[in-house]
């Protein structure tokens, strides 16, 4: 669905996934908020990343509805110059404070990350590091069989589809993307990549 790119690269599930993602990005379901990257963000960690966003802006915008309100996907990318930086991570951690959470990711070590230390209970659903869409039905079934307050999914663009589908079922899911990696970077932690 993204002009000029192979669907396998973009959506890791071919054209079927690309169509499904476009449908989700244009969803009007009121309990589902969609965060998208702000290509004008000034806090990119590299010139390459900033240039990449600018180059792909037109392709990405083709997936979005022109009249829809989108929110920032960069909630986990704080700018150290921002006056609220010192409280940023605590405000994020408050989302799952003393709640039962389930992390959907490929690396079970994420359960031990300090970002989630204030959760009451942490469960884990494994997904492939790449091509999660190929196991989407199994992942969705595992989520359906799990009792928790919040799902935290980090599985590429498939997490956005998962968050939408769980919202329709009345369950809360946050696509946390690379939140743990950004936490590590902002706190100068020497940890393996856990996103």
For the stretch 39-74, pLDDT in tens is 555 555 567 666 766 776 777 777 777 788 887 777
Inside any domain, residue 47: yes
Inside any domain, residue 194: no
Whether the Cβ atoms of residue 136 and residue 117 lie closer than 8 Å to each other: no
Is pLDDT above 90 for 119? yes
Residue 66 φ/ψ, nearest 5 degrees: -65, -25
Inside any domain, residue 95: yes
Residue 151 φ/ψ, nearest 5 degrees: -95, 140
Is pLDDT above 70 for 34? yes
136-173 residue pLDDT tens: 999 999 999 999 999 999 998 899 999 999 999 999 99
Whether the Cβ atoms of residue 148 and residue 120 lie closer than 8 Å to each other: no
Could you tell me the residue range of the domain that residue 61 belongs to? 7-186
**Per-residue pLDDT, 148:** 97
**What pLDDT band is residue 36 in, cutting at 50, 70 and 90?**
confident
Whether the Cβ atoms of residue 73 and residue 35 lie closer than 8 Å to each other: yes
Inside any domain, residue 152: yes
Scored b (16 or more CB within 10 A) or e, 102-127 reads bbbbbbeebbebebbeebeebbbbbb
Write out the H or E segment, with its range, that includes residue 163: helix 158-168
Inside any domain, residue 193: no
**Per-residue pLDDT, 62:** 74
Inside any domain, residue 191: no
Closest of 103, 94, 111 to residue 154, by C-alpha: 103
**Per-residue pLDDT, 158:** 94
Inside any domain, residue 40: yes
**3-state secondary structure (DSSP) of residue 72:** strand
pLDDT, averaged across the chain: 81
Whether the Cβ atoms of residue 147 and residue 121 lie closer than 8 Å to each other: no
Write out the H or E segment, with its range, that includes residue 85: helix 85-93
Which one has a higher pLDDT value, 101 or 26?
101
Q: Enter the tokens of residue 130.
A: 């790449």
**What pLDDT band is residue 3 in, cutting at 50, 70 and 90?**
very low
**3-state secondary structure (DSSP) of residue 158:** helix
What is the rounded distance in angstroms from the CA atom of residue 149 to the CA atom of residue 121? 10
Instruction: Give the count of domains, the chain.
Output: 1
Inside any domain, residue 71: yes
């Amino acid at each position: 669905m993204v002009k000029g790119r192979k669907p396998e690269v973009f959506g890791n599930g071919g054209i079927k996934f690309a169509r499904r993602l476009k449908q989700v990005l244009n969803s009007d379901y009121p309990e589902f908020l969609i965060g998208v990257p702000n290509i004008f963000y000034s806090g990119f960690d590299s010139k390459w990343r900033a240039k990449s966003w600018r180059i792909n802006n037109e392709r990405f915008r083709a997936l979005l509805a022109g009249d829809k309100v989108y929110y920032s996907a960069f909630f986990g990318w704080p700018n150290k110059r921002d006056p609220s930086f010192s409280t940023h991570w605590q405000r994020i951690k408050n989302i799952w404070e003393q709640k039962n959470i389930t992390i959907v990711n490929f690396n079970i070590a994420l359960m031990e990350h300090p970002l989630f230390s204030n959760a009451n209970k942490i469960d884990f659903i494994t997904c492939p590091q790449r091509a999660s869409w190929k196991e989407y039905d199994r992942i969705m079934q595992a989520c359906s069989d799990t009792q928790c307050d919040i799902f935290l999914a980090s599985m590429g663009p498939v997490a956005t589809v998962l968050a939408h589908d769980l919202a329709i079922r009345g369950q809360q899911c946050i696509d946390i993307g690379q939140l743990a990696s950004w936490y590590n970077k902002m706190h100068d932690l020497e940890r393996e990549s856990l996103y």
